[in-house]
Amino acid sequence: MNSPLAFFVVAALASTAAAQSCFEGTNLVCYGLPGGTSQNISLDDLQFAADTIRFNGQSSDPTDLSGFYTMPANPKLHGCDEWTVLDSGTVRVLAKHTNNAVNSSVLLEDMASTIDGGSDATDAQKAKAIIHCAEHGGQLVITANTSNPAYSSAAYKASGNHPTDMMVKVVKVV
């Protein structure tokens, strides 16, 4: 194990393992179903959290990036950033950066839609959102609505941000 090649292989594997630890899949995960721990959150609190995030995004200045939630690149971090976006009653909304090598930035509207399916969501849209998990809470990768003109704005293009590599987690406030 004293050879430079062995050291390189071990270092590469450790680096890959650290990068992979941030990725938790792209499918909707409901906590407590079938395993894990149910969060026992209030659905009213969950909807209020989504509505608040959406309102903050819709109330922002469309000429800047204030309607976006941004997680900057942090390639030296081993693991991944996970930040509290909002606490509302029994609900804590977290944003998780799933790729620390890029600047990720998504519209608050897209974050809210990940939680509740959209402002006027159909049952089919709700079934693909965290609200489908009901009182259990859950997690889901944010899918950016890149047809929204905000993603084509001069400010967003100049930022170098990407509308990828971020997920929402809904857990109970402790």
- Which tens digits make up the pLDDT trace of 49-73? 999 999 999 999 988 999 999 999 9
Query: 136-158, pLDDT tens digit by residue?
Result: 999 999 999 999 999 999 999 99
108 close to 69: Cβ distance less than 8 angstroms = yes
Q: What is the pTM of this model?
A: 0.87
Residue 118: CB atoms within 10 Å = 19
Cα distances (Å, whole numbers) of residue 92 to 29, 171, 173? 16, 5, 5
Quickly state the pLDDT bin for 16 (edges 50, 70, 90): very low
Quickly state the pLDDT bin for 21 (edges 50, 70, 90): low
pLDDT (average), residues 89-115: 97
CA–CA separation, 162 and 160 (whole Å)? 7
Number of H helices, E strands in the chain: 5, 7
CA dihedral over 130, 83, 50, 159, signed as positive or negative: negative
To the nearest 10°, report the CA torsion of 130, 160, 87, 62.
Answer: -90
